[in-house]
């Protein structure tokens, strides 16, 4: 079969087949993912980018129009370093197509070569021995090959030799790859993608046998358990991506946030800009970028937790909760607790609770907001993808959500649970905490401690439900205004309480529904009543743990903690700022006491 002219439909069919091969090999790519960080997701990110793009593209006979559709869609679907580099690659190619309906081998080869500077210019610190190296070596060789070859099948077959040789050299070019005697994961993924394109053009879509040896045979590396490789240090924890509408200057964007991390990539298709950075401050990244365009999407992956899951040698049960659970990062890290963010909508921008917005930023944004913010649960697809990404590394998963009476998060958890159990051989258990904030956090912490002690999942679920019955939260809300705006209290009741200067004690009943547990004229009066409730609980069930949460009121929380030492004889588990979602309803100045009683 000869192919002297390449049209849009033919290229897209080959693109789609290449994407399928990367999807087949994603677990292998994850297992050799060490650069830029060993978070075991290169295969997942690359396959997700390519497959999601293929589903959205509408190919036409015009090669120019098809590349345009790929460029427009891949920037929205791109995930991780590998996905962003692919987005750069195709965005650059579209800019070089010059309204071609069909293209010959020489034009194709020259366009490929010309896109290389575009890729390198948009990566803050391109490293040799990675995906960009293999793309460059392959693309620079194409014009030389095309000078004597006018058939695309022969051209791309010949070019694979260059790609394979360049891939093999990545084994020595990066110290981390040399250390583990492996090729670069992103580079391997790109070569598999090229192999898929060649296979399609050859008409060998059912023959995997002559793939490059380093890739192995697709579909054979599915397995359960940790990747048996040494854990490498991660310099910056969060892989953060932001999609902006418009076309701000890319260099200006890089200058604006480059001090916040590394692995910075900025890609534009003329209509949208995708920013990728590894950082410890995703909320600050978003805070700076929000002034440079309309934020369309945000994504944050916790690479440290991903690495722990993939290389876990301890607990075989994963513990998953949501961002309403107020529990400090150091305790979550100690027990490798997974936390799924809820969403908070501020003037049309959807932020990720505790990741791209924290209580500190929230109250500043609130002063500028045109409308009062709203919150929503994570989507079923988000939870499903999260669970699917960790399911291969654990024998079971326990999910503990915020009260069903307060949020639809539990429904999302249960829906995702059913879908994952249909596809994976794993036991997943769900518990409605009937709690929120610090009380939910204490219950999750108790579950984490029991998992660490080796308690089996079924027994643990039973025990957590018993503890749930004796766990309470009492919140001193400074004003009813936020609860009125958030719909938690009727305007009439709220305004009447404000008029009488009443300070409420907000709590939850046994079913997890919001309730007023008391009120007083002054804040000090409220705190006295909260202490009395703690004393009563100590007498009835005992107090095993307690914690303090607050919204811009650390001093008040510390004062209440001191009083609790007199009641219990021991210090609090922690004092921390509440989640943005809780702050949305409680308002600044709120202080909450959470109590975990005995399980009997």
Digit-by-digit pLDDT tens for the chain (600 residues) are 789 999 999 999 999 999 999 999 999 999 899 888 888 889 999 999 999 999 999 999 999 999 999 999 999 999 999 999 999 999 989 888 767 899 999 999 999 999 999 899 888 888 999 999 999 999 999 999 999 999 999 999 999 999 999 999 999 999 989 998 999 999 999 999 999 999 999 998 765 444 444 444 333 333 344 444 455 678 899 999 999 998 788 889 999 999 999 999 999 988 899 999 999 999 999 999 998 989 999 999 999 998 888 876 567 999 999 999 999 999 999 999 999 999 999 999 999 999 999 988 998 998 889 988 999 999 999 999 999 999 989 999 999 999 999 999 999 999 999 999 999 989 999 999 999 999 999 999 999 999 999 999 999 999 999 999 999 999 998 776 666 565 555 454 555 455 445 678 889 999 999 888 887 777 788 889 999 999 999 999 999 999 999 999 999 999 999 999 999 999 999 999 999 998 888 888 899 999 999 865
For the entire predicted model, the pTM comes to: 0.87
Identify the pLDDT of residue 227.
44
What pLDDT, on the 0 to 100 scale, is given for residue 505? Answer: 86
pLDDT of residue 313: 55
CA distance 504 to 474: 10
> Do 360 and 551 form a contact (C-beta atoms < 8 A)?
no
Q: From 78, 81, 104, 100, select the one nearest 90 (Cα to Cα).
A: 78
Distance CA 72, CA 75 (A): 6
What is the pLDDT, as a whole number, of residue 359?
85
Burial 219-232 (b: 16+ CB within 10 A, else e): eebeeeebbebeee
Give CA–CA dist 392/379, Å, rounded: 21
pLDDT at site 217: 37
Count the alpha carbons within 13 Å of 95 in the hemisphere toward its beta carbon. Answer: 18
- CA angle in degrees (0–180, nearest 5) for 208-214-217: 30
Domains of the chain: 6-202 (1.25.40.340), 312-342+377-467 (3.40.50.10440), 471-597 (3.30.1180.10)
> What φ, ψ does residue 373 adopt, rounded to 5°?
-60, 160
Is residue 415 exposed (0-12), middle (13-18) or buried (19+ Cβ within 10 Å)?
Answer: middle
Contacts for 438 with CB less than 8 Å, ≥ 6 apart: 326, 473, 547, 548, 549, 576, 578, 592, 593, 594
By residue count, the chain amounts to: 600
The pLDDT value given to residue 511? 94
CA angle (69 as vertex; 66, 72 as ends), nearest 5: 150
Q: Decide: helix, strand or coil at residue 216.
A: coil
Helix H segments across 57-151? 63-77, 80-96, 105-114, 116-121, 131-146
DSSP letter assigned to residue 169: H
Q: Judge whether 20 and 47 are in contact, CB under 8 Å.
A: no
Helices (H), 290-341: 303-310, 329-334
The order of strands in the sheet holding 343-346 is 349-352, 343-346, 374-376
What sign results for the dihedral spanned by CA atoms 401, 402, 405, 411? negative
The DSSP annotation for 555-568 comes to HHHHHHHHHHHHHH
Selection from 89, 145, 108, 78 nearest residue 8 by Cα: 108
Instruction: Give the dihedral sign, CA 354/321/326/310.
Output: negative
Task: Give 31-74 as a 3 state SS string.
Answer: HCCCCCCCCCCHHHHHHHHHHHHHHHCCCCCCHHHHHHHHHHHH
């Amino acid at each position: 079969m000869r192919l002297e002219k390449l049209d849009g439909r033919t290229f897209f069919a080959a693109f789609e087949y290449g994407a399928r091969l990367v999807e087949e090999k994603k677990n292998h790519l994850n297992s050799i993912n060490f650069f830029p960080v060993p978070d075991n997701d290169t295969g997942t990110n690359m396959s997700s980018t390519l497959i999601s793009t293929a589903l959205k593209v509408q190919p036409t006979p015009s090669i120019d129009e098809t590349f345009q559709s790929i460029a427009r869609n891949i920037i929205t679907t791109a995930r991780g370093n590998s996905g962003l580099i692919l987005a750069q690659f195709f965005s650059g190619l579209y800019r070089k197509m010059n309204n071609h309906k069909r293209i010959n081998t020489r034009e194709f080869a020259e366009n490929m070569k010309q896109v290389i500077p575009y890729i390198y210019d948009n990566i803050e610190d391109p490293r040799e021995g990675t995906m960009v190296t293999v793309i460059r070596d392959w693309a620079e060789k194409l014009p030389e090959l095309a000078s004597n070859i006018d058939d695309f099948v022969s051209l791309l077959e010949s070019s694979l030799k260059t790609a394979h040789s360049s891939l093999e050299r990545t084994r020595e070019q990066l110290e981390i790859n040399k250390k583990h005697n492996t090729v670069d994961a992103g580079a391997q993924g790109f070569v598999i993608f090229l192999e898929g394109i060649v296979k399609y053009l050859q008409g060998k879509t059912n023959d995997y046998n002559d793939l490059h040896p380093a890739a192995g045979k697709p579909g054979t590396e599915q397995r359960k358990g940790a990747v048996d490789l040494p854990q490498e240090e991660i310099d910056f924890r969060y892989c953060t991506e932001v999609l902006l509408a418009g076309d701000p200057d890319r260099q200006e964007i890089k200058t604006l946030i480059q001090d916040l991390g590394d692995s910075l990539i900025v890609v534009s298709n003329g209509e949208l800009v995708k920013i990728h950075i590894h950082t410890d401050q995703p909320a600050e990244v978003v805070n700076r970028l929000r002034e440079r365009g309309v934020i369309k999407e945000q994504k944050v992956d916790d690479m440290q937790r991903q690495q722990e899951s993939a290389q876990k040698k301890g607990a075989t049960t994963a513990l998953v909760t949501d961002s309403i659970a107020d529990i400090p990062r150091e305790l979550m890290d100690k027990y490798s607790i997974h936390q799924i963010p809820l969403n908070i909508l501020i003037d049309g921008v959807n932020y990720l609770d505790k990741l791209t917005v924290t209580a500190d930023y929230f109250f500043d944004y609130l002063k500028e907001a045109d409308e009062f913010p709203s919150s929503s649960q994570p989507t079923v697809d988000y939870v499903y993808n999260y669970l699917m990404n960790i399911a291969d590394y654990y024998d079971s998963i326990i999910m503990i959500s915020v009260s069903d009476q307060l949020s639809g998060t539990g429904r999302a958890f249960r829906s995702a649970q059913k879908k994952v159990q249909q596809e994976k051989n794993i036991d997943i258990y769900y518990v409605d905490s009937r709690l929120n904030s610090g009380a939910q956090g204490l219950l999750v912490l108790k579950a984490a401690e029991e998992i660490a002690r080796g308690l089996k999942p079924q027994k643990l679920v039973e025990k957590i439900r018993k503890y749930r019955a004796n766990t309470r939260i009492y919140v001193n809300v400074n004003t009813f205004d936020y609860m009125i705006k958030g719909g938690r209290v009727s305007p009439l009741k709220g305004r009447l309480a404000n008029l009488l200067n009443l300070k409420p004690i907000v709590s939850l009943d046994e079913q997890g529904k919001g309730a007023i547990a008391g009120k007083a004229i002054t804040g000090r009066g409220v705190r006295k009543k909260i202490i009395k409730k703690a004393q009563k609980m100590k007498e009835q069930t005992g107090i095993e743990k307690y914690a303090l949460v607050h919204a811009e009121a650390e001093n008040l929380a510390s004062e209440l903690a001191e009083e609790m030492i007199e009641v219990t004889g021991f210090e609090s588990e922690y004092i921390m700022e509440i989640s943005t979602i809780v702050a949305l309803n409680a308002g600044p100045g709120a202080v909450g006491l959470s109590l975990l009683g005995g399980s009997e």
